[in-house]
Amino acid sequence: MKNTRPPFDEVIMAMADYVLNYKIENDFAYETAYYCLLDAIACALMALKNPQCVKLLGPVVPKATCKQGARVLATPYVLDPVQAAFNIGTMIRWLDYNDTWLAAEWGHPSDNLGGLLAISDYLTQTGQSISIETLLTALIKAYEIQGVLALENSFNRVGLDHVVLVKVATTAVTTHLLGGDRQQILNAISQAWIDGQSLRTYRHAPNTGSRKSWAAGDATSRGVRLALISKTGEMGYPSALTAATWGFYDALFKGQSFQLQRPYGTYVIENILFKVAFPAEFHAQTAVECALALYPSVKERIDDIETIRVETQEAAMRIINKTGPLYNPADRDHCLQYMIAIPLLFGQLNPHHYEEQTAADPRIDLLREKMEVKENTLFSQDYLDPSKRSIPNALQIFFNDGSSTERIAIEYPLGHRLRRKEALPLLQKKFKQAIEDHFPKKQVGKIQQFIADSKKLKLHTVSELINHFI
Confidence (pLDDT) at 136 = 98
Domain shared by 308 and 409, yes or no: yes
Domain assignment of residue 39, yes or no: yes
Residue 387 binned pLDDT confidence (cut-offs 50, 70, 90) = confident
DSSP reduced 3-state for 100: strand
Angle between helices 420-438 and 441-451 (to 10 degrees): 150
Considering 209, 238, 270, which residue would you say is the last residue of a domain?
A: 270
CATH number at residue 101: 1.10.4100.10
CATH number at residue 311: 3.30.1330.120
DSSP reduced 3-state for 325: coil
Domain assignment of residue 295, yes or no: yes
Could you tell me what percent of the chain has a pLDDT over 70? Answer: 100
Structural contact between residues 420 and 411, judged by C-beta atoms closer than 8 angstroms: no
Domain shared by 201 and 332, yes or no: no
Confidence (pLDDT) at 55 = 97
pTM, entire model: 0.91
Q: Estimate to the nearest angstrom the gap between the alpha carbon of 404 and the chain centroid.
A: 37
Domain assignment of residue 110, yes or no: yes
Considering 248, 270, 292, which residue would you say is the last residue of a domain?
A: 270
Mean pLDDT of 66-95: 96
Closest CA to 176 of 58, 18, 364: 18
Confidence (pLDDT) at 104 = 83
Domain shared by 258 and 204, yes or no: yes
Q: What is the largest CA-CA distance in the chain?
A: 77
Q: Estimate to the nearest angstrom the gap between the alpha carbon of 275 and the chain centroid.
A: 10
Beta bridge partners of 388: none
Domain assignment of residue 427, yes or no: no
Alpha helices in 299-396 (DSSP H): 314-319, 329-332, 336-346, 356-359, 362-369, 377-384
Domain assignment of residue 137, yes or no: yes
Residue 1 binned pLDDT confidence (cut-offs 50, 70, 90) = confident
DSSP reduced 3-state for 434: helix
Mean pLDDT of 223-243: 98
Confidence (pLDDT) at 455 = 92
List the domain range (segments joined by +) for residue 393.
282-413
Domain assignment of residue 296, yes or no: yes
Confidence (pLDDT) at 24 = 97
Domain shared by 237 and 377, yes or no: no
Domain shared by 52 and 147, yes or no: yes
Domain shared by 52 and 187, yes or no: yes
Domain shared by 244 and 322, yes or no: no
Mean pLDDT of 455-468: 95
Domain shared by 124 and 257, yes or no: yes
Mean pLDDT of 93-116: 93
Distance CA 137, CA 30 (A): 8
DSSP reduced 3-state for 381: helix
Distances (CA, A) of 298 to 292, 345, 393: 10, 8, 18
Instruction: Answer with the residue of higher pLDDT: 106 or 71.
Output: 71
Domain assignment of residue 448, yes or no: no
Domain assignment of residue 454, yes or no: no
pLDDT tens for 142-193 read 999 999 999 999 999 999 999 999 999 999 999 999 999 999 999 999 999 9
Domain shared by 239 and 260, yes or no: yes
Burial class (CB in 10 A: 0-12, 13-18, 19+), 388: middle
Mean pLDDT of 348-352: 93
Domain shared by 292 and 329, yes or no: yes
Domain shared by 110 and 246, yes or no: yes
Considering 238, 270, 302, which residue would you say is the last residue of a domain?
A: 270
| Domains: count for the chain | 2
Domain shared by 201 and 80, yes or no: yes
Mean pLDDT of 46-56: 96
Is the pLDDT reported for residue 307 higher than 80?
yes
Confidence (pLDDT) at 445 = 97
Confidence (pLDDT) at 384 = 85
Distance CA 157, CA 151 (A): 14
DSSP reduced 3-state for 324: coil
Decide the pairing of beta strands 393-399 and 70-71.
Answer: unpaired
The angle formed by the CA atoms of residues 201, 202 and 205, to the nearest 5 degrees, is 75
Residue 83 binned pLDDT confidence (cut-offs 50, 70, 90) = very high
Confidence (pLDDT) at 102 = 83
DSSP reduced 3-state for 336: helix
Q: Estimate to the nearest angstrom the gap between the alpha carbon of 166 and the chain centroid.
A: 9
